[in-house]
Structure 1
């Protein structure tokens, strides 16, 4: 159950960061702010895929 909650929270955080990044891009805010949000989004997506990969390995064992 904890795993499911974690994955749901990651997906929600990814969507929030995507929306924020899209708004920044449309508003043409400074590059540093866009880069920061982009990097945060990348980290969240990386965590998501690592978690999925780890769970698939555990399921095979």
Structure 2
């Protein structure tokens, strides 16, 4: 951990991650399929859930 930075963890999801997810599940992973995936994904909800889960993990580490 870099003590010169306030950030200790940053997660970035990429288009390649989605492509690999679709491939791993034997789904179409064309550009059109990826576009459709994003049309059906509530990114704000995903972000909220990731943050909430992160807080739960942090909280459980101090108990």
Normalising by structure 2, report the TM-score.
Answer: 0.37
Bigger RCO (CA 8 Å, 6+ sep)? 1
Task: Give the structure with the higher percent helix.
Answer: 1
Normalising by structure 1, report the TM-score.
Answer: 0.38
